[in-house]
Amino acid sequence: MNRFQELVALVQSFEKDFVKFYDKGNKSAGTRVRKAMNELKRKAQEIRKEIQEIKAKPDDASGTPTEN
């Protein structure tokens, strides 16, 4: 699974809690949304770090970065 798909799956995994909090006013769902957003932040930082590492590597013969 590539990194973009991981992010999409992560966001979709907490969609129900967004609806419960914003549309229905469920405060417990708000707590879960905050926790999920923190997880999203950590994932984004991980991806940013990985991108920097890939960019710092010397190019291979084909000139394209490898995909994870």
CA atoms within 13 A on the CB side of 23: 6
Predicted pLDDT at 58: 85
Q: Cα–Cα distances in Å, from 8 out to 15, 25, 65?
A: 11, 24, 22
Tell me the pTM.
Answer: 0.74
pLDDT tens string, the chain, 68 residues long: the values are 699 999 999 999 999 999 999 999 999 999 999 999 999 999 999 999 999 999 999 876 555 666 65
Give residue-wise pLDDT tens across range 16-35. 999 999 999 999 999 999 99
Q: Which two tokens stand for residue 15?
A: 């969609």
Q: Where along the chain do its domains lie?
A: 3-56
